Amino acid sequence: MTTPGAPGRLASAEVFVDRLLHDLKQPLNLIRVLAQDVRIDVAKNRLDPATLPATMKGIEQSADELAMQLDRVRTFLRSTGHDEPEESTDVNEACRVIMARLRTEQPNLQLTEALAPGLLPAAIALPALLQVLWEVLGNAAHAATEGQTQSPRIHLATSAGHDEIEVLVQDNGPGIPAADRDKIFEPFFTTRPDAAGLGLALATALIADARGRLTLLDPDGSGARLRIALPAADRPPAAGQ
């Protein structure tokens, strides 16, 4: 199996800032292009009212994307502050939130889950865990859907380890080539031309800040298996877990 190293706080911040700057470019450029088109059409008295709602919707969606990225800044800063009291999170509930979001965004993806009852909370802030799960599941979703003509699948399971809470994510994509298994957690490594190669690096940094581990497990059939291991918080489980 392959386990990423634990980057320091400065490395975590650098990875996040690089990811943020890359992700901000696309919505900013789209807003500029759409606004420029409207300005030129107005100046030349050729603005078509029928196309204006779609143009404004594109601007609104890009603004929403920018707002989401700024929320990621807040998430990262909150999750890495040494002066903040240690937080704990219901892992099962965080998994439900992210799985629901993924179902909405990718309705053709088959998602199954097996959430172990009675888990202790994990010693990680909720925003940080949500970000970690989104990065890991988003990566799995792309692997499962890329080149799949039917039945792309992801399975998520939670369990209790020794003083740890574990989350296992498995997809039915092509898997990780042997030559890439030691690289997938490195910043900027990607096999996708449209990706920055920072998603798993960001997840690794956030998990390391919580004194946890993100591990690529040995293959078990098709696809890839990743395990998130987080220290259990020293308090009883929340109601309803």
pLDDT value of residue 237: 45
pLDDT value of residue 69: 63
Rounded Cα–Cα distance for residues 153 and 133 (Å): 16
Q: How confident is the model at residue 189 (pLDDT cuts 50, 70, 90)?
A: very low
Q: Which of 3-12, 124-133, 141-150, 228-237 has the highest mean pLDDT?
A: 124-133
Query: Is residue 187 left, alpha or beta, with left meaning phi > 0 and alpha meaning psi from -120 to 50?
Result: beta
What's phi and psi for 46, nearest 5 deg?
-130, 20
Q: How confident is the model at residue 86 (pLDDT cuts 50, 70, 90)?
A: low
Closest C-alpha among 177, 179, 178, 170 to residue 221: 170
pLDDT greater at residue 7 or residue 213: 213
Look up residue 55 and give its amino acid: T
Q: How confident is the model at residue 166 (pLDDT cuts 50, 70, 90)?
A: very high
| Strands annotated E in the chain | 110-114, 153-161, 164-171, 213-216, 225-231
